[in-house]
Structure 1
């Protein structure tokens, strides 16, 4: 139905708005829409928050929800880019080492950052953790891609197997950092590895939103090339697409997005797998529509998961990575079953 009309985008926008309002309203402290409007009005008039509810809304709940929405959009778009690059719907950043590499890079800063030069800290400022996360994510993704490449093709089964190995190495490195860390550092790494938005701040929102906006804009320019790549590298070459250059650029864009959000909110798996697959069933595989639709649905679904994380064991909070993995892992198994990767003896080529 949606493949034949344009209703999908208004519906996704409406879904996102409703989920955002609910995500702001519900939690350990409930916030009424009237209190939200009053807090925004006071802020626009240059006044501080009036009362505890307005303070919770402006200083805690709103930056958390915005960071959650941006993160969901980033992870969903990352999934679209990775699946378009490898031409397979079961690939996502968490499966090919990107998230684990970023986690290890960030954990190095958490534990060893105290011994770094003050000049380096002053020069990088709040970008120190994202820079290390980016380096770790890029290295891990490159290793997976290089080891799974056979002649001019990438074996999907090899990709998954190498991805599992690199993920294990990254998680082992992060675990070692936790082992040698002091108790507060180790506890922070543990919660961070499970994904959490409890420490969201306006500075994080600004950094992640800026990076996401720039990369989204650039990624939209490559939708035609990604569509051509669906035909195969040789066929895409006939259409004027330089496949090798496109792969390098997409990998850089993808790694930058995932590294930044992972550095701030931790490892959140399977969002990049679930969202693109749902949308392909609804609107097809055209990346021109799939990319912006994934932004909207990814933001809405991760905010919904965050609401569940806050409410299921209220006033305690479940790490959001547990929610997404609990839902995403069965979906991944069903996709493997659907594409016969659990039974086939050889690797499919991307």
Structure 2
């Protein structure tokens, strides 16, 4: 009995005391990790399961709902082995840094001719925009419209007709010279008969074409003639319509005007730059989820084309250039502080550059007030104050 008591006491004092108690946070972290494995199992399930339940978009909805929750839960309750994995990855990355730099250098040299071709392609703005639109419309055609092989072409034609009508109305609204005649010279009153006749015929042709176009649209939508094989879904119309409105040149020029009319003070007169970033960011974001959806539906070639042109080329060049311009503009103004509401109310002055009222302004070191966009334009030509012509000296 004495031997048993001594052994029992030693076990209680030594062995169990060395086993650390499991904390509640560790328990939660282990549970979160196990639940993550369970919730990620559908991604390894056969494709036919989700097709039978709801198609590729059921998988997309499941991903948007579950993956952010799993990431946030694992970030809040990390398992003990997460830091060790991170350290191992950092150590491996430092060891592979030099070989990876060499490989990236070789790939960059090999990619240089292709990059030049991409820039030449993007310089042809109308052609590149049409290619991007066709790819997005075709991808939406394959995903959202059943047996609609020409839906993308019908949609693009319909949107182009609307664009033509908007362009004509805009031309009428901004037109200043309503005279049907053309003078021989700018300061002459002698009419050029041939040019005047050509101008009259051209204006009448535009007007008749506009009337015929509007009539065609009303008949097509009202009587539904020729739309037997055109049956787009709401999601198809929403995605293609948003993409077209944010990528077509006509609407890209009109949206900043609407933003300027709203007079958002935070934009500081740089609506064109902000909208350029927003439009290119939204169009790139619309193309991103189409790639895995096309791959899920085994449309591999179309998925690769959308990934390369609409995501990589469009995002890298057009979105990247818009971000660079916006950051440069904001960086040039970062040195100048914003004027407070009290200063503007006490000043009751106009901008010395554009002679417009100031609801928001930037203050120079010499205590002069300018619109942010006006000051940015002045900084592009000179680093001196437009009023006192002193160089800017910042403390």
Q: Do they superpose with TM above 0.5? A: no
The structure with more radius of gyration: 2
* TM-score band w.r.t. shorter chain: under 0.3
More relative contact order in 1 or in 2 (CA 8 Å, sep 6+)?
1
TM-score (norm 2): 0.22
